Amino acid sequence: MIVEIGAFALILSLILSVLQTGASALARIRRSPVLAAVGEGAAIGAFGVLAVSFAALVYAFVVSDFSVANVTANSHTAKPLLYRIGGAWGSHEGSMLMWCLALTGFGALLAGYGRGLTSALKAVAVATQGALGIAFLAYTVFASNPFWRLSQPPVEGRSLNPLLQDPALLLHPPFLYVGYVGLSVVFSLAVAALVEGRADAAWARWIRPWTLAAWAGLTVGITLGAYWAYYELGWGGWWFWDPVENASFMPWLIATALLHSAVVTERRGALPGWTIFLALGGYTFSMLGAFLVRSGVLTSVHAFAVDPTRGVLLLTILGVTSGLGFALFAWRAPAMARGGLFAPISRESALVLNNILLAAATATVLLGTLYPLIREAIAGEAISVGPPFFHLTFTPLMFLLLILLPAGPLLAWKRADAGAALQRLWVAALLAAAAGAATLALVQPLSLFGAAGMALGVWLIVGSLTEVAERIRLFKVPGAEVLRRLGGLPRGTWGMTLAHAGLGVFVFGAVVETTWKSETSEVLAQGQRLSVAGYVLVLEDVAPVLGPNYEAEQATIRAFAPDGSLVCVAQPERRLYSAGGQTTSEVAICPRGLSHLYAVLGERRAAADGSPIWLITGYWNPWALLIFLGPGLMALGGVVSLTDRRLRLAAGRRATPSPAAPAQPVSEPA
């Protein structure tokens, strides 16, 4: 009965979302706190029953109930428990259910914890969040129901794409959806601001935690996806400018821009219209991502659902939702009060420049993603826009952004002295130039791009630390005072520094890996060797191994360093999943400090004398670890910032006036 309980709970969640929207909207019109409370209760209830529904679907996957069509299509009894559970969101229907779960979850958080919001703003936001929920829940119930049953259940399931049976990919969708759907709250708050005609500093502060949470989730989700591509696809790469990757990258770029423009609105009350525009844009790009990935309009590993009706429905949801949002914007935004003024050289201007560059970068990614689709629709010929396009358009924009980045936090609000800010960065500039020059002089093969990247990485990391050093007046005041100031730095500052330095760490990894990686592919018999970047890989043996739901050939490869010492014994596999007939490659990675020695077992062939030989590929990926560590630091920065507000409130309450300063006004509790 558990499956049917889940089916009922899903429908109850839809009805409660309708109640949430209706009651909250009516509450705003009649200025009734009681109706608002009904809307909030419905929002929390919608999440609660949808959690029951999701649990029921997981249960059906765990016990392999093949009377559920979705389980039959995406699971198999031989699949390990962990991936049976993951199968619950590995399918189209299940992932839309997870999307709805995140949507109602954020709605419940907004209803339950949005106490600082004004009643009217909150009521409109809860109503809007409910309407977003109705759209996706109705889609799930009527067009993509994960609880549809089969009257004749088959004996076995049809399994899940084995490429997706992977721990990183188990966690990738949940994080990504927290990010995608977290932006829905920002969208709802933007709609509320437009309805109320109020996008002031307080509003900007209210959207910050939601933006930060969504941004951090997206960062982790995208990084997990890149890491998965890196070690599962076995091509040695980690980012392919695949439309599916771009689909998650565009909301991230917009969320990044929004984080920065919201700071301007919060501190100076300026740019309210632009901040609202970005807030609407973030979730629009999230839905665009869902449409691109889920409609089957792209043909790639991710697009398992090839079903035009669903695509049309998703496109309709996207068009209606964001169309209404932007129409409201066009109507209401011109009437909004403009905030504080600022000079061309100021923190505000730096953040505006950041936004212009990020928006331009988003536009190039959007163009590169959609152009092939539009071209195919109009001219009927399929073209692909690959990395060269993005290297010519996206990379220069990012280089410019990153060069300007360290100066931003050093500029004062309103009117700044650019010369003074640059003067403070001389240490960073000197170190960056030294790093670039040393790279040019010492590293072979010579690469201008590589040297520029090294300089940029140092510039970003040292530049970010310079800002901290300035604020704690390092070397300018006695050590005890420096420590006191260090302890007093707000978490938001630490978060920003971590994120900016993390970007520098990522630049190191990305530039060094792409510039100096090397690759050797050879056909080897047992006992033969190949060498890559001075390392020697000896193919000792290839033996069959039997997994729980696959058969594999497992190679044993001894890897020796240039000095002849044994680095590791790598055991890459080539797996055949008989339930679906797919072959996958399990890469073996030997970490060498920050770098990776990466071995892939290719297909078996026959030598001239009939003895077996294998295609072995060895990659040397220098500093590859930093590619994933950098975004990890950035996400950590987001989480640290997220803890700031609350902690500063607590600190304000507990503040004990120091003898030197006048007594502090104790801040009001929220």
Residue 664 is a binding residue for another protein (CB under 8 A): yes
562, 546 contact by CB (below 8 A): no
Give 23-90 as a DSSP string: HHHHHHHHT-HHHHHHHHHHHHHHHHHHHHHHHHHHHHHHTT-TTBHHHHHH--TTS-HHHHHHHHHH
Nearer to another protein, 330 or 480 (CB): 480
Q: Residue 446: which of 438, 457, 456, 455 has the closest Cα?
A: 438
Distance CA 334, CA 330 (A): 7
Please give the structure tokens belonging to residue 320: 């209606």
Interface mask toward another protein for 230-269; x: CB under 8 A: -------------------------------------xxx
List beta partners, residue 588: 599
Minimal distance, residue 152 CB to another protein, in Å: 11
Binding of another protein by 566 (CB under 8 A): no
- Backbone phi and psi for residue 566, each to the nearest 5 degrees, phi listed first: -75, 125
Task: Measure the CA–CA gap between 355 and 446, rounded to whole angstroms.
Answer: 34
Instruction: Choose between 391 and 473: whose C-beta lies nearer to another protein.
Output: 473
For residues 112-141, which are near another protein according to CB under 8 A?
115-120, 141
Inter-residue contact 634 to 506 (CB < 8 Å) = yes
Q: Does the protein bind another protein through residue 654 (CB under 8 A)?
A: no
Q: By CB under 8 A, tell whether 655 contacts another protein.
A: yes
Residues 392-411 within binding reach of another protein (CB under 8 A): none
- CB neighbour burial string for 253-285, b if at least 16 within 10 angstroms, e if fewer: bbbbbbbbbbbbbbbbbbbbbbbbbbbbbbbbb
Does position 48 bind another protein by CB under 8 A?
yes
Site for another protein (CB under 8 A): which residue of 158, 375, 424, 471?
471
**In what helix (H) or strand (E) does residue 179 lie, and over which residues does it extend?**
helix 167-196
| Residue from the set 158, 375, 414, 558 that interacts with another protein by CB under 8 A | 414
In 472-490, which residue ranges form alpha helices assigned H by DSSP? 479-488
Binding test (CB under 8 A) with another protein, winner from 335, 379, 441, 661: 661
Judged by CB under 8 A, which of 327, 374, 392, 412 binds another protein? Answer: 412
Pick 267 or 574: Cβ nearer another protein: 267
Q: Does 578 bind another protein (CB under 8 A)?
A: yes
CB closer to another protein out of 388 and 659: 659
| Contact predicate 340/270, CB 8 Å | yes
With H, G, I as helix, E, B as strand and everything else as coil, classify residue 609: coil
Region from 235-243, 487-495, 507-515, 626-634 binding another protein, contact rule CB under 8 A? 487-495
Residue 101 in the binding site for another protein (CB under 8 A): no
Residue pair 582/609 in contact by the 8 Å Cβ criterion? no
- Within 10 angstroms of residue 330's Cβ, the number of other Cβ atoms is 9
Segment contacting another protein by CB under 8 A, of 1-9, 164-172, 363-371, 592-600: 1-9
Binding residues for another protein restricted to 328-347, rule: CB under 8 A: 340
CA distance 145 to 133: 15
Output 207 or 429, the one with its CB closest to another protein.
207
Size of site (CB under 8 A) for another protein:
92
Which residues, 173 to 202, sit near another protein by CB under 8 A? 198, 200-202
Among 21, 25, 45, 258, interactor with another protein by CB under 8 A:
45
Using CB under 8 A as the binding rule, whether residue 3 contacts another protein is answered as: yes
Q: Report if residue 38 touches another protein, rule: CB under 8 A.
A: yes
Q: If binding is defined by CB under 8 A, does position 417 make contact with another protein?
A: no
By CB under 8 A, which span of 61-69, 208-216, 312-320, 616-624 interacts with another protein?
61-69
